[in-house]
Chain A
Amino acid sequence: MVSGLGAVSALGPDVAAFRRGLREGRSGIGALTRFASGGRSDRAAEVPYEGSGAPANGSLRLSHADRLARAAAREAVRAAGLEPAMLAEAMLVVGSTTGGMRATEEHYWARARGEAARYRLSRLLATPLSTPTDVVAQDLGIGGARRTVATACSSSALAIGLAAEAIRRGRTDVAVVVGTDQLCRLTYAGFEALQALDVEACRPFDRTRRGLTLGEGAGALVLESAAHAAARGARPVVVLGGWGTTSDGHHPTAPHPEGAGAIRALQAALADAGRAPADVDYVNAHGSATPQNDAIEMRVLRAVLGARLGRVPVSSTKSQIGHCLGAAGALEAVATVVALDDGVLPPTLRVREPEPEWADVDLVADAGRTAPLACALTASYGFGGHNVVLCFERADA
């Protein structure tokens, strides 16, 4: 059961703002102001630092990624109505790719310039990727298992699946799952060097797409066993019906050209949920807007959904909040849950002309749209070929 949601994104500081932005088709993508891009692209989906006047290098003891994670987790736990005693037994799983790297890289360069003769512990301790996990655990009083997952762009989707599995196997009744990442020069420069960034705001599934737009933020979900929810009188609207994860075993960055691993992940998620392709009402795609990913992803959806693909809406939330890397899985899961809850399809922005191969696909262009939704998939495909698909369903479906 999904009993609580949290979200901090370029669409706003909470789930309400996220919800509104999805429905209204707003774009959180704008100019990159955090640092000089050093390349052709200068677009990003930024989330303002907590508090005004926060230093651009995130030099406060908690990194921006830490604070985003904390904010999203707090919102999700509050929404779920969890009591401290429940949190003391709960599991925490966090997905991230770079954590507090922004503060680390600035301090690293300052030291190289001779401006910081000794490493300050607080700066370098932003380096361990598990720091947001520790921050959230401490803030919420989590007493159960604590895991940090890092499989690039599928990190927090995988975190959701692992947490769900732990609940299913009786290792915990409650799990708080968070995905968090913040913009940093290392990542921005890396994708720029790979020529994977669009110079304009990204255009997933559009014929003229040129690459992704990076974003930042945090998403959080509280997952709970049905028995635990029932015992405390909680009535979640949406459940995680099933999930699947596979690997391509193909290439460090490029996806399998036929999407073999992604196809199996999709099939596994449906099988785990006891669902058939005919049951799928909506797909929240990985939709990163790179020429290669979008083409392969549509190939995958065609292979699994068959002729029905033309009747199943597919959209990319990355067109609104950018590619939030380690936070993408969780934020897009929140978008999918909200879609099921509200009966409103999130849109894909800036699709002027789809590729001929998927001209028949409803990409929910430009703005959200009401629709009867009972079962939805969200896909996350990570660098290195780590594929995760989650299948959410309305509890009353």
Chain B
Amino acid sequence: MTDPVVVSGVGVIAAGARGPEALWEVVCGVRQGFEPAGIPGAADATLAGRAPTVERRDVVRTSAGRRIDRLSLMVLAAARDAVADAALGDAEVAGPATGIVLGSAFGNFEETAGFLDRLGARGTGNPLVFPNLVMNAALSYLSIELGVTGPTVMVTQQEASGEVAVAAAIDLVESGAVERCLAGAGDELTPELHAVLRDVGALSSGRPRAYDASADGCVPGEGAAVLVLERESVARARGVRPWARLGAAVEFSVPAPLHGWPTDGAALAARLAPALAGAALVVGAAAGIPALDRVEAASLAASLAPGVPVIAPRTVLGHFGSAGLVGAVVAMLAIRKRTVPPGPACEVPIEPTLTFGRAARPAEAIPAVVVVGLARGGAGCLLRLEDMATP
């Protein structure tokens, strides 16, 4: 492609970290991403990957943002960081030439629960809260705070929400509808959501063991990531060094039980194989959830070239709908730092042929990383991030 879409700015907040460098420290084990969940009713050993607190006064600049909800605040923080990282001024972002595509699995869960509590108790809803309950609340707040009047899209596809958002954002930039597009995703962890995960047996009794036959569940997380996407020529003209080049996203559907993970590793492998060609690193979707990890491991074993390392960031960042986009940030950090992050600590690998590194290791180059996005119900979305130095 003569003028590819590149990532010119990154903002991320997850697992106790804000910003790419802090995130890298968590991924490489320099700092701990998990902390006690602190959820009422949960066992003391329950862990969670909490996003650091964002102060409203630090990121909200409009009167409309007075009522911003916690999830939207996280996404806005990541967006402001990404815009700054892309060396974009307020005037450059505002207006019709900028678009926004956001993804989320559950949206504003906390205030939805609060609204339902009041509605159940009093029979009436809170008018101040209701506008925050729409899935696109974060999208609306971002467009207001950043003055964006171009196309804005909210997508939701469970555990692949972030990847699908990037795919849709690539489409917008490539179509010429916008000069740049903020592609982001966010999800929050609330006591209600934690209770759901606990009650359905999805939580690990300790730390998640991705791709491991003894895995017993995930550690839930929360966070947000936003990327600035634009044509390489536009980024270079501004003197920005892009993080990575984006190849075409691969979106697909594979058979799966409704609300369940695919079970046919071969069918999934057939979808992965073309996209994995030439990949030097794979960011997996695995989170220590046995059904997910099994099918992904089987499909990677059948489609990935031998020796290509696989990492599973959800095992140190937490599992949530937008975690895949945080994984994409990890992929770009690996490319920029020419370092393969540690893989999952796998004692009894489901697929012994897969390569998991125990510690971070330098690489001469990482020309391409594929981020695997898989959602319950059978949706899939693969992102390909390439080193700018690769022709």
List the interface of chain A (C-beta within 8 A of B). 36, 38-39, 61, 91-92, 97, 105, 108-109, 112, 118-119, 121-122, 124-125, 127-131, 133-135, 137-138, 142-152, 158, 162, 165-166, 169, 171, 185-186, 189-195, 245-253, 260-261, 264, 382-386
Contact B112 A186 (CB under 8 A): yes
B32 within 8 A of A: no
In the assembled complex, the Cα of A108 lies from the Cα of B83 at a distance in Å of: 39
Contact A386 B119 (CB under 8 A): no
Contact A97 B137 (CB under 8 A): no
Q: Which residue of B lies closest to A38 (CB)?
A: B123
The smallest beta-carbon distance between A299 and chain B, in angstroms, is 17
In the assembled complex, the Cα of A62 lies from the Cα of B378 at a distance in Å of: 17
In the assembled complex, the Cα of A258 lies from the Cα of B116 at a distance in Å of: 35
B113 within 8 A of A: yes
Given contacts A150-B155, A386-B152, contact A186 B125 (CB under 8 A): yes
Q: List 8 A-B contacts (CB under 8 A).
A: A61-B258, A125-B259, A130-B157, A134-B379, A193-B124, A193-B127, A247-B152, A386-B152
The smallest beta-carbon distance between B67 and chain A, in angstroms, is 7
9 smallest A-B Cβ distances: which pairs? A384-B140, A134-B377, A145-B251, A190-B130, A189-B125, A150-B135, A193-B127, A193-B125, A38-B123
Listed residue (B117, B155, B168, B174) with the most chain A CB atoms within 10 angstroms of its CB: B155
A131: chain B residues at CB < 8 Å are 258-259, 377
In the assembled complex, the Cα of A264 lies from the Cα of B175 at a distance in Å of: 18
In the assembled complex, the Cα of A253 lies from the Cα of B153 at a distance in Å of: 16
The smallest beta-carbon distance between B232 and chain A, in angstroms, is 19
How many pairs, one residue from A and one from B, have CB atoms within 8 Å of each other in the complex?
212
In the assembled complex, the Cα of A251 lies from the Cα of B144 at a distance in Å of: 7
A253: chain B residues at CB < 8 Å are 131
B133 within 8 A of A: yes
Which of B43-51, B193-201, B340-348 is found at the contact surface with chain A? B193-201
Given contacts A112-B117, A162-B168, contact A151 B125 (CB under 8 A): no
B303 within 8 A of A: no
B134 within 8 A of A: yes
B132 within 8 A of A: yes
B157 CB contact (under 8 Å) in A122, A146, A186, A250: A146
Q: Which residue of B lies closest to A111 (CB)?
A: B195
Interface size on B, residues (CB 8 A): 71
In the assembled complex, the Cα of A250 lies from the Cα of B144 at a distance in Å of: 5
In the assembled complex, the Cα of A302 lies from the Cα of B94 at a distance in Å of: 27
Contact A109 B120 (CB under 8 A): yes
Q: Which residue of B lies closest to A37 (CB)?
A: B123
B167: chain A residues at CB < 8 Å are 145
B147: chain A residues at CB < 8 Å are 249
Contact B153 A146 (CB under 8 A): no
A186 CB contact (under 8 Å) in B115, B151, B376: B115
Q: Which residue of A lies closest to B113 (CB)?
A: A108
B149 within 8 A of A: yes
Contact B157 A247 (CB under 8 A): no
In the assembled complex, the Cα of A383 lies from the Cα of B253 at a distance in Å of: 30
B150 within 8 A of A: yes
Contact B140 A130 (CB under 8 A): no
In the assembled complex, the Cα of A143 lies from the Cα of B175 at a distance in Å of: 24
Given contacts A130-B158, A150-B136, contact A108 B150 (CB under 8 A): no
Q: Which residue of B lies closest to A112 (CB)?
A: B120
Listed residue (B106, B156, B167) with the most chain A CB atoms within 10 angstroms of its CB: B156
B26 within 8 A of A: no
Given contacts A128-B105, A190-B133, contact A385 B124 (CB under 8 A): no
